[in-house]
Structure 1
Amino acid sequence: MGALSNLRVIDLTQVLAGPYCTMLLADMGADVVKIERPGGDLIRSNPPFVESDEEAYGGYFQSVNRGKRSLELDFNDPDDREDFLSLVEEADVVVENYRSGTMEKYDLGYETLKERNPELIYSSIRGFGDPRTGETHRQGQPSFDLIAQALGGVMEITGQEEGPPTKVGPGIGDLFTATLNCIGILAAVNYRHCTGKGQYVDTAMYDAMLSMTERAVYQHSYTGEAPSRRGNSHPTLFPYDAFETRDGHAVIAAFGTNHWNEVCEAMGREDLAAEYPEAADRLEHREELREEIAAWAADLETADLVETLEGRVPVAPVQSTDEIFEDPHVRDREMLVPVEQPGADETVEIAGSPIKMTETPPEPGGRAPLLDEHRGELLEDDEPERTDAETAADD
């Protein structure tokens, strides 16, 4: 039994933000029913594939739709809308990530669904939020991860100091928003448990990115200056940076005085520890001190640098994905999960759940579904078979 095995979630989401949110719920045991438009989620056909694009779906879809059930519905069809409403009546949560107003076009907005199920928790993920929780001129505009990172300040503070604004590699505009939305859903579930009342949960990508750049917000408020790019360094801590080695890069986070002393000892430069004993001193002279550490690091291979400081100072190699796959920590923590790849006759690996629990450990529930794979069990065979004893009791 998973921690959320008592929840049924109707998932109307597609691409990344919404599916990641509902994947988190599915990993924790929720029964997630993915309602797909005719032809399915837009990213079913996105690469990569193991062998060819004849496979049922690619890695993008597989990664964030594991453990769900699929049902294909056309909301332009009155019968399909009624099938959807019948599912809503028995659901705990509905999640969608359409533009604001899309569900209302089909008369399937929150107010309509709430009439069919007063305890329903309705959740939306949009670029700019929903008018129900705060109306703005941006609502209705399309948004993707890149848009959210640009507007929310992430790109302005990411990249090299003299370089252009740079997006963060992973789609954090989607993924962080999805995680916050999942938290909102679980909070609403708890509130309903206490009061019997459902509610609307709304998370905007722009809002989420602004929340993520909280450091820039308070810096601007306190200093009156707009923070910009600093490469891999930190605006108020030193040393806290990446350093090039003979064969790669390593990161050192030694801003505490005890850690600074350890770095200086490893470098054979105890004089620097004595000359710059306070954090404020090191921050003021960060450029020349960084050059000293960089010169030392450049003469070492990454493994040697890490071995020299490990256990004394927060240090790590900058790992490639190949190295992540080889890291025993990743296997010991079950952070790579094998799943079937339909059409390829082999398994692939996707990222596991980072949420660990002792009584109800989240588990990715197998591969992502084929399009409309679960129509029979969701619609035609939704009524459980009654036993002779139950029939006799009714009589």
Structure 2
Amino acid sequence: MPGPLSHLRILDLSRVLAGPWSTQFFADLGAEVIKVERPGLGDDTRGWGPPFVVDPDPEAGEAGMAAYFTCANRGKKSVAIDFTTPEGAAKVRELAATADVVVENFKRGGLVKYGLDYEALRAVKPDLVYCSITGFGQDGPYADRAGYDFMIQGMGGLMSITGQPDGEPGAEPLKVGVAVVDLFTGMYAASGVLAALSHRDRTGEGQHIDVALLDVQVAMLANQAANFLASGKAPGRLGNAHPNICPYQAFATADGHLILAVGNDQQFRRFCEVAGAPELGADERFATNRQRVANRVELVALLRPLLAARPRGWWIGTLEEAGVPCGPINSIADVFADPQVVARGLKVEGTLEDGTPVAMVANPLKFSATPLGPWGVPPTLGQHDTEILGE
């Protein structure tokens, strides 16, 4: 069955992660995504290994395929075009004339000299939706700077609230373990493109979408930004604790760590009953979430020995039965062995053009009328030259 976006053609001029993550979303939903790559080299992430699904062979001029590349490029069609030449730029303009959407993530103005910027392409396709992803946007004092996820996590405040608090062992600002700014930016870009397509379908009018990593990082500060704007006090690092809820953090048990996620007063009282300390649930210092947050240090000091007295499995089973949210801290290997993850089909497999198997993570969306899949695989460099350019 065709996917819900099978009527769309996306021209993908992006590379690395934020742009490809966005366009992979469209490929997952059935759109034809044409990925333009540099001849001989391809997307930078083809070489970001090990591990490699296909080893590069520089002597044979084969770019290979790092596992990193597979996370953001499945289901796309690859064409190798050097658009820094007049002939290559002309080919890309021809492709743009047949596309609904163009996604690019070059520095501001970087495509103007090739005639591949929004103003140039709207001249050949007036209803084109054109999405530019940059570090800092199309205007402002930083607009000409390059932006990368790690530095944006720092500049945008995320690292100031991530890591152990000052005075604790290992205290320092930390980045998140995956490139969350790139990923969020990719999804904001995809949402913006869908909104622009809806506008185009109603009015016939295309438009330019400006998405910046720094803007997205500031937007995704969420409750931490709201806390600051309401109080004027900048939040700091709390390790695994939550600034607005308590107890909502990791605790050591007798044989490993447990995440305790108490979300309301009733859950806290049920936890105290299970822990054999009902008096804590009745203590006026901890009766409400507001009081527990205010008296966080005292409460956590009382809870730590209670949780350390029993093994993690006992706590998880007993607390789940009592309706108190909790869970383990799984390794990624544990994640893909988890029965819920297996049941939801989040690991999928495919075969590359040369027969090489490749494992991937499925798109998490579940549609009742237009179910997703079968899943496309990442393309080899220039795999679709004949199909696409032969048109």
Relative to the length of structure 2, the TM-score reads 0.93
Change (3 A) 1:221 1:11: same
The structure 1 residue matched to 2:216, chosen from 205, 208, 212, is 208
Confirm or deny that 1:288 pairs with 2:298. yes
Native 8 Å contact 2:350 2:375 kept in 1: no
Change (3 A) 1:41 1:334: same
Equivalents in 2 of 1:309, 1:216: separation in Å? 29
The one-letter amino acid paired with 1:294 is R
The aligned counterpart of 1:332 is: 343
Native 8 Å contact 1:56 1:342 kept in 2: no
Equivalents in 2 of 1:108, 1:138: separation in Å? 22
- How far has the Cα of 1:342 moved from its partner? 6.3
Native 8 Å contact 1:85 1:113 kept in 2: yes
- How far has the Cα of 1:138 moved from its partner? 0.5
User: What CA deviation, in whole Å up to 9, does each residue of 1:4-40 have, x standing for no partner?
Assistant: 0000000001111111000011100110000112321
Equivalents in 1 of 2:88, 2:359: separation in Å? 35
Confirm or deny that 1:136 pairs with 2:140. yes
SS of equivalent to 1:354? coil
SS of equivalent to 2:227? helix
Equivalents in 1 of 2:343, 2:4: separation in Å? 22
Please say which of residues 76-85 and 10-19 is displaced more in the overlay.
76-85
- How far has the Cα of 1:83 moved from its partner? 1.4
Equivalents in 1 of 2:352, 2:174: separation in Å? 34
SS of equivalent to 1:203? strand
- How far has the Cα of 1:56 moved from its partner? 2.5
Native 8 Å contact 2:251 2:257 kept in 1: yes
Equivalents in 1 of 2:158, 2:31: separation in Å? 32
SS of equivalent to 2:92? helix
* 5+ long unaligned stretches in structure 2: 58-62
SS of equivalent to 1:125? strand
The aligned counterpart of 2:17 is: 16
The one-letter amino acid paired with 1:69 is K
Equivalents in 1 of 2:153, 2:42: separation in Å? 27
Native 8 Å contact 2:14 2:105 kept in 1: yes
Native 8 Å contact 1:8 1:31 kept in 2: yes
The aligned counterpart of 1:246 is: 254
- How far has the Cα of 1:367 moved from its partner? 1.4
Native 8 Å contact 1:11 1:95 kept in 2: yes
User: What CA deviation, in whole Å up to 9, does each residue of 1:101-137 have, x standing for no partner?
Assistant: 111021211001000000100001110012xxxx211
- How far has the Cα of 1:53 moved from its partner? 4.5
User: What CA deviation, in whole Å up to 9, does each residue of 1:230-267 have, x standing for no partner?
Assistant: 11111121111111123321111113111001100111
Within 5 Å, give how 1:148-159 maps onto structure 2: 148-159=152-163
- How far has the Cα of 1:146 moved from its partner? 0.5
Native 8 Å contact 1:46 1:58 kept in 2: yes
The aligned counterpart of 2:266 is: 258
Equivalents in 2 of 1:137, 1:281: separation in Å? 44
Equivalents in 2 of 1:365, 1:31: separation in Å? 13
The aligned counterpart of 1:45 is: 47
Within 5 Å, give how 1:101-250 maps onto structure 2: 101-130=109-138, 135-162=139-166, 163-250=171-258
Native 8 Å contact 1:27 1:364 kept in 2: no
Equivalents in 1 of 2:329, 2:14: separation in Å? 34
User: What CA deviation, in whole Å up to 9, does each residue of 1:273-320 have, x standing for no partner?
Assistant: 111322222222221211222212212222221111014111111111
The one-letter amino acid paired with 1:19 is P
The one-letter amino acid paired with 1:339 is G
The one-letter amino acid paired with 2:82 is D
Native 8 Å contact 1:352 1:364 kept in 2: no
Identity percentage over the alignment? Answer: 38
Equivalents in 2 of 1:228, 1:82: separation in Å? 51
- How far has the Cα of 1:45 moved from its partner? 1.6
Equivalents in 2 of 1:16, 1:10: separation in Å? 16
User: What CA deviation, in whole Å up to 9, does each residue of 1:64-113 have, x standing for no partner?
Assistant: 10000001111122222221111111100000011111110212110010
Native 8 Å contact 1:66 1:364 kept in 2: no
In angstroms, what is the RMSD of aligned CA positions?
Answer: 1.6
Confirm or deny that 1:374 pairs with 2:384. yes
The aligned counterpart of 1:388 is: none
User: What CA deviation, in whole Å up to 9, does each residue of 1:132-176 have, x standing for no partner?
Assistant: xxx211112111110110111100011111211110111011000
- How far has the Cα of 1:269 moved from its partner? 0.6
* 5+ long unaligned stretches in structure 1: 383-395
The structure 2 residue matched to 1:349, chosen from 355, 359, 370, is 359
The aligned counterpart of 1:32 is: 33
The aligned counterpart of 2:104 is: 96
